[in-house]
């Protein structure tokens, strides 16, 4: 019987994402995502309720500290739902970024023994996090009913904003997971980075405050931080406090595409040495 031996060697030069290869391994991605979700809630008492508990507790703390004590404006919207709508995409992004950054380090025993597209590893927590995101987002409808906020047609833009949020998470996940495997300091710094990025985003205050303090030009370039357009877009889509911030959304789209494209190039360039430095 003739046996064929397939030798897999790293390609030279800069490489892009091989989407056909990713598609061929879609079953592996599916089972890794399923395992991620299952392990997260295995042997827990409250189960999927944790997806709601985290943003609700953060909302309560922010409402007391920033809404009541600091008297931060909320564009005429009750502060609890004002902050909650921002916390839903932010918590998804923060969690996806943190878990994706640490994913390669935690999976060295897998990718050093068998070949599969390494990109599946940082993609897994990003896709799995959508389960919590959808559960947390569903509570927004309950809060809108409680505060008597009507749903407008702008809610149809939620999928676009979610796509920008996912693209940003994927891009940063590719950048930081590859960096963390080579430079372990990144793993220790990620919590600090996430906290810093939260206060840099309009989670506890509206974008109108930035415009009032620093002007339109600053607000325009501030939109290069993708989560600014995503958060303000969520508020406009669900709460209708302001017109859709198309300028911020356009800036978020551009920067998320750049982050994801450069992240893919960097990840694929470093992929060939992952087994050596793991």
Residue 15 has pLDDT above 70, yes or no: no
Question: In the structure, what pLDDT confidence band is assigned to residue 188 with cuts at 50, 70 and 90?
Answer: confident
Residue 220 has pLDDT above 90, yes or no: yes
88-143 pLDDT per residue, tens: 999 999 999 999 999 999 888 888 888 888 999 999 999 999 999 999 999 999 99
Q: What is the pLDDT of residue 96?
A: 95
Residue 1 has pLDDT above 60, yes or no: no
42-51 pLDDT per residue, tens: 777 777 788 8
Question: In the structure, what pLDDT confidence band is assigned to residue 21 with cuts at 50, 70 and 90?
Answer: confident
Domain boundaries, the chain: 24-277
Mean pLDDT of 251-270: 94
Lowest mean per-residue pLDDT among 37-46, 119-128, 170-179: 37-46
Mean pLDDT of the chain: 89
Considering only residues 9 and 28, tell me which one the structure prediction assigns the higher pLDDT: 28
Considering only residues 161 and 270, tell me which one the structure prediction assigns the higher pLDDT: 161
| Tokens coding 170 | 């994927």
Share of the chain above pLDDT 90, in %: 65
Residue 3 has pLDDT above 70, yes or no: no
Q: What is the pTM of this model?
A: 0.91
Q: Tell me which range, 148-152, 198-202, 256-260, is most confidently predicted by mean pLDDT.
A: 256-260
Q: What is the pLDDT of residue 8?
A: 56
Mean pLDDT of 70-80: 91
């Amino acid at each position: 019987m003739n046996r064929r031996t397939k030798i897999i060697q790293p390609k030279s030069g800069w490489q892009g994402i091989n989407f056909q290869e990713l598609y061929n391994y879609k079953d592996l991605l599916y089972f890794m995502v399923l395992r991620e979700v299952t392990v997260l809630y295995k042997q827990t008492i409250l189960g999927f309720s944790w997806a709601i508990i985290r943003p609700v507790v953060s909302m309560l703390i922010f409402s007391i500290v920033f809404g009541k004590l600091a008297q931060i404006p909320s564009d005429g919207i009750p502060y609890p739902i004002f902050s909650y709508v921002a916390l839903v995409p932010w918590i998804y992004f923060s969690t996806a970024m943190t878990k994706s950054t640490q994913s390669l380090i935690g999976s060295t025993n897998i990718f050093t023994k068998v070949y599969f597209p390494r990109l599946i590893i940082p993609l897994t927590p990003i896709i799995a996090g959508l389960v919590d995101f959808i559960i947390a987002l569903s509570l927004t409808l309950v809060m809108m009913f409680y505060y008597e906020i009507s749903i407008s047609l702008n809610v149809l833009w939620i999928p676009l904003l979610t796509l920008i949020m996912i693209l940003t998470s994927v891009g940063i996940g590719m950048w930081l997971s590859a960096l963390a495997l080579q430079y372990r300091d990144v793993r220790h710094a990620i919590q600090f980075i996430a906290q810093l990025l939260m206060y840099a985003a309009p989670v506890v205050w509206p974008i109108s405050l930035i415009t009032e303090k620093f002007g339109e030009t600053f607000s325009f370039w501030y939109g290069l931080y993708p989560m600014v357009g995503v958060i303000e877009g969520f508020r406009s889509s669900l709460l209708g406090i302001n017109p859709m911030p198309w300028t911020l959304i356009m800036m978020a789209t551009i920067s998320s595409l750049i982050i994801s494209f450069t992240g893919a190039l960097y990840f694929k360039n470093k992929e060939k040495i992952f087994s050596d430095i793991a």
